[in-house]
């Protein structure tokens, strides 16, 4: 799976890069890190958060 441009831009923003994305992608180490971060961002975007256990919350069990 190849990350989209939007995912790469989000990864660059979260990484707080001070250089443009095009320049960062020319560096092998930065390109690798940005690709891995973008894949994680894409995976989190597609996954659904777990539903809360309402009975447990009503009982006051927060552990």
Predicted TM-score (pTM) of the model is 0.69
For the chain, domain boundaries? 5-59
User: What would the 3-class secondary structure string for the chain be?
Assistant: CCCCHHHHHHHHHHCCCCCCHHHHCCCHHHHHHHHHHHHHHHHHHHCCCCCCCHHHHHCCCCC
Question: What is the rounded distance in angstroms from the CA atom of residue 15 to the CA atom of residue 2?
Answer: 19
CA distances from 50 to 53, 55, 56, 58 (A): 9, 15, 14, 17
Tens of pLDDT, residue by residue over 4-62, are 999 999 999 999 999 999 999 999 999 999 999 999 999 988 887 788 888 888 888 77
Give the pLDDT of residue 53. Answer: 83
Residue 63 has pLDDT above 70, yes or no: no
């Amino acid at each position: 799976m190849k990350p989209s441009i939007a995912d790469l831009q989000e990864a660059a923003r979260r990484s707080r890069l001070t250089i443009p994305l095009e320049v960062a992608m020319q560096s092998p180490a930065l390109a690798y890190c940005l690709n891995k971060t973008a894949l994680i961002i894409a995976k989190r975007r597609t996954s659904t958060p777990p539903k809360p256990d309402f009975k447990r919350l009503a009982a006051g069990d927060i552990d």
